[in-house]
Structure 1
Amino acid sequence: MTTKERISTQFTLHPAAAASELLAAATAEALPTITGDVEVFAIDPEIADTAALLDATDLSPATSANCVLVAGSRAGEERIAACMVLANTRADVNRRVKKLLDVRKASFLPLERAVAESGMEYGGIGPIGLPGSYRVLIDSRVAEAKELIIGSGIRGSKLLLSGAALASLPGAEVVDGLANEIV
């Protein structure tokens, strides 16, 4: 059974462009910049966190991609990236992301700041609609996925799209080895 088939047995899928009430404002505004189908489904906000959603849907971690916001600075210039990695991997912040950002030290963006700057809710932050100054780094395994679940910007819904659609986001960079398998 595909991810979409499994999701549609528990939730009602809608074309995301026709269901802006299920999206953060920034996400809804940025949707037209993506090539490909993007669907949205409402969920109980209590299962917005990846592990809870996967438990509730009995899906594999390889069907869900997390958005991790990372920051660092060099010569007084702050550099921020949204790293899209599969739920069964972890962003390689200390090596790969640090090198891509060309900073000496990279760390996760503080929660309060991530929420304030993205205009999205914790547990729902996704790459669609993030500030234009953020780089969007997509692990190649995410870009290759046929179907993915990602944040919609709010805790009460999730997006379903292909990795190719996600990689079509303006300025997105597909990166080999952005994440490491969780062992």
Structure 2
Amino acid sequence: MTLGTLTWVRALDFPELLAPSTRTAIEAWVAVDPAVADAVLVTEIDPGLADTAALTEAYALPPAASANCVLVAGRREGEERVAAAVVRATTRADVNNAVKRLLDVRKASFLPMDRAVEESGMEYGGITPLGLPGRYRVLVDARIATDDPDTGPTVIIGSGVRRSKLALPGALLARAPGVEVVDGLALG
């Protein structure tokens, strides 16, 4: 598959382009749904271009095709609650309302970069909803599950490392193990 100026290949054929936890998550998903093996694709990129704005410009990708994954935490009664919020790059996660309400916390904040990297086992700029720690909730905005009028069904997400990206149908991402699809998770 070609998207933008990038060529995409089956992710599991190139495990060196995936964070170990991402590879493990995809393998476990394929064990339950073998069609996932052909649907989750990877491409190698310049790691200096991993951030969405640079990526879309350098590789002629439509901005709406990319999705961002941010890690957010809050506390309630001494218990920390952590979630990944996945939204299209043309929107932003509604951390102050939707995420806070879903986590049932008074205040939700982005995880500091060093902690996000350490706990996820992924590189900053490559954090993906596939392969996060089991205690994290994975919240995906409902708009990812529907085809974008300009970009179609494909969504580009991190691979766990900065030197590559994953592409898969948004509807498939919405059915990934542990994913909670949320209406109104994103603003914009």
- Check if 1:80 corresponds to 2:82: yes
- Check if 1:16 corresponds to 2:18: no
Aligned counterpart in structure 1 of residue 43 of structure 2, from 34, 41, 44 = 41
Q: Structure 2: give runs of 5+ residues left out of the alignment.
A: 148-152
3-state SS of 1:68 partner: strand
Deviation, 1:11, is 2.7
Deviation, 1:168, is 1.8
Contact 2:2 2:8 in 1 (8 A): no
Name the structure 2 match of 1:172: 179
Aligned pairs for 1:11-160 (under 5 A) are: 11-32=6-27, 33=29, 35=33, 36=36, 37-145=39-147, 146-160=153-167
RMSD after superposition: 1.2
3-state SS of 1:55 partner: helix
Tell me, in whole angstroms, the C-alpha distance in 2 between the residues paired with 1:81 and 1:118. Answer: 11
TM-superposition CA deviations, 1:129-167 (whole Å, max 9, x none):
000000000000112231011000000000010112211
Name the structure 1 match of 2:3: 6
One-letter identity of the residue aligned with 1:84: V
Deviation, 1:5, is 3.3
One-letter identity of the residue aligned with 2:7: T
TM-score (norm. length: structure 2): 0.90
3-state SS of 1:138 partner: strand
- Count of residues in correspondence between the two structures: 176
One-letter identity of the residue aligned with 1:14: V
Tell me, in whole angstroms, the C-alpha distance in 1 between the residues paired with 2:60 and 2:9. Answer: 21
Contact 2:6 2:59 in 1 (8 A): no
